[in-house]
Amino acid sequence: MASLTPLLELINTGVANLQSVEKKNNTPIPNLSQPFHPSLEAFRSDPVAAEAAAHVVAAALQLVAILAPPVDSLYAFAVAGSLKTAALRVCHESNVSEILREAGTQGLHVKDIAQRNGLEEKKLARFIRYLASSHIYEEVRPDVFRNNRLSSLLDSGKPSADVISSPTTKHDESNGLGALIAHHLDEVTHAAAYTWENMADPKTAHSYESSHCPLATQLGREINLWDYLAEPEQESRRNRFDLAMKGTQSWQPAAAVLEGLDWDKLPEGSTVVDVGGGVGTSMVPLVENFPGLKIVVQDLPQTIQNARQFWAQKNPQAVAEKRVSMEEQSFFDTQPERDVDVFFMKNIIHDWSDPDSKKILTQLRYAAGKDTKLVLAESIIPYTSRTSEQPTDYKNRVPGSVLKQAPAPLLPSFATAPLIMTTDMIMLILVAGQERTFDHMQALLLSTGWKVNEVRHPASEQVMYSFYIASPA
C-alpha cells in the first residue's frame, strides 16, 4: 500500500485545492454531464487550480497503471485505441453530436438518430455505447443517448439537416476543433496504421525524407502531407486542414508572442521577419503594441496572396505606413540581403527532419548580423525519466531550459506531456518531422551556427510551445 499512499495524497490535496479555488473565485469545476462551454474552463486560470488538476489527472492515470491487470492494460492499449478511433469517426462523420444537441438533455433513442443520419440502428448503438463507456456521450436510458462535456466538442453548432446535406461545408466558420478531429481520424489514422511497414522497409526505415513518411507508405507513392493536400482531388481535405490549423491558432492566446522577447528593447525601426509566417497572424500583437517595428511576413506565393487580403482587412494602415510588408520567400532559399534584428518562426522546425531543419536554420544564419536574434516558438518534449534539478554546465548558461517536473512519484513529465508526444508522432507519420527535447534543439541550433541564450515559457496553460531565443554562435 505504500506505493499508493503518495498518489492518494496528491489526489486528496489536489481536490482540496480545486474546491478551495472554486469557492474563492466562484469558478465551478465542470460537470461531466454538461455540454462544454469555454466559461466552464475558467477555473484553470488560477495557477493553483491548474497545477492541482494536473496532479490529480497524473495520479489517477498512474493508479490505473498500477491497479488494473497488466494484461488488460496492455491489451486495451493495443486494441482499444484503433477501435475508439473507428467509433469516434463513425459518430463524428454521421453528425451524431449535432443530432443529440437538437434533442436536448433528455437524449434521443438510437432509432431516431439512425433515421436522421441514415446509419444502421443496431450498429450505430454499439458505436455510441462503446464511446459512452469512455465518457464520450451518455446513455441515459437503454438505447437513449445524449451529449456530454466531451461529445459536445464534436458539435459544429449548425443544424443537423445542413451538415447532413452538405458534409464538405460542415466545418466552415466553426472553431476548427471538429475539423482537426476529422483530420486526425482520417489522414493521421490511416497513415499511422502503416508505421511499422514504413519502419521495416529498407528504403524508408532510415530515411528522413519527408516523402518517405508512413503517409507515403499508406498511399503507395513518395509524397508528404503538404504535397498530398495540394492535389486538386484533395480540395475538401485541404480546406478541412486549413480550418483545423486556423482553429489551433485561435485556441491559443495570440498575445503569447509578446512574451517571446523583450520587444520594447529593440531600437526604433527594427526589422522582424516572420519566416514561414502564413498570413502573419502571430505578428498582429506586435504591430498593435510596438508601432516602431517593421514587420516582414514571409511565405510561399499562394499564402502571401492570402496574407495581403488578411492585412488589408486587419490593419490596412500598418501596410500603408510600411510597418507591415509581405514577401514571397521559401525558407529553403537564400534570404534577401538586409539588416534583420529578429528572425521569428512559430511551429516551423517541428514540421521538418534534422537535415531539412539544418537547411532552414543555416539560411537564416547566413543572413544574420552579429546582433540578430532568432526566436523559435516550438514545443519542448520532456523526458519521462526524473532528472536532477541541478542543471548541467551548458544548461546553467541557458535560463529556462530545465523544465518543471511533477512531484514524485508521478511521472516528472506530468499527464499533459503525452499531448506533445502525440504531436511528435503525428509529425513523424505525416511529414517525417518531429518535436524535440531541449538538448536535441540545442544541438541542432549549434550545428547551424546558433546558440540558445534563453528559453521562455508563456504564462498561459493553453500555450503548448516555448520560446527559444538564440543568437549567432
pLDDT tens column, 290-305: 999 999 999 999 899 9
Give the range among 114-128, 131-145, 148-162, 247-261 with minimum mean pLDDT: 247-261
- Is pLDDT at 153 greater than 70 in this prediction? yes
Q: Where does 250-387 show beta strands of DSSP type E?
A: 271-274, 294-299, 324-328, 342-346, 373-378
- Which residues sit opposite 298 in a β-bridge? 327
Locus of grid cell 431516431: 112
- pLDDT-based confidence at residue 214 (cuts at 50, 70, 90): very high
pLDDT of 395 strictly over 70: no
pLDDT at 149 exceeding the cut of 50: yes
Confidence of residue 2 (pLDDT cuts 50, 70, 90): low
Does 440 participate in catalysis according to the annotation? no
Q: Which of 55, 92, 171, 350 is catalytic?
A: 350
Average pLDDT over the chain reads: 93
- Within 10 A of 223 (CB to CB), how many other CB atoms are there? 18
The x, y and z cell numbers of residue 261, run together, are: 522577447
Q: What is the pLDDT of residues 402-444, one digit of tens each?
A: 888 899 999 888 755 678 899 999 999 999 999 999 999 999 9
The 10s digit of each residue's pLDDT in 9-58 is: 999 999 999 999 999 999 999 999 999 998 999 999 999 999 999 999 99
Q: Taking the domains of the chain in order of start, what are their residue ranges?
A: 5-67, 70-169, 177-249, 252-472
Query: In this structure, are residues 151 and 131 in contact, taking their beta carbons and an 8 Å threshold?
Result: yes
Contact 444, 326 (CB under 8 A): no
- The CATH class for the domain spanning 252-472 reads alpha beta
Q: Same CATH topology for 70-169 and 252-472?
A: no
Residues 46-87 have pLDDT tens digits of 999 999 999 999 999 999 999 999 999 999 889 888 999 999
Tell me the average pLDDT across 6-10: 96
Is 70-169 a CATH 3.40.50.620 domain?
A: no
CB 344 within 8 A of CB 375: yes
CA distance 366 to 158: 50
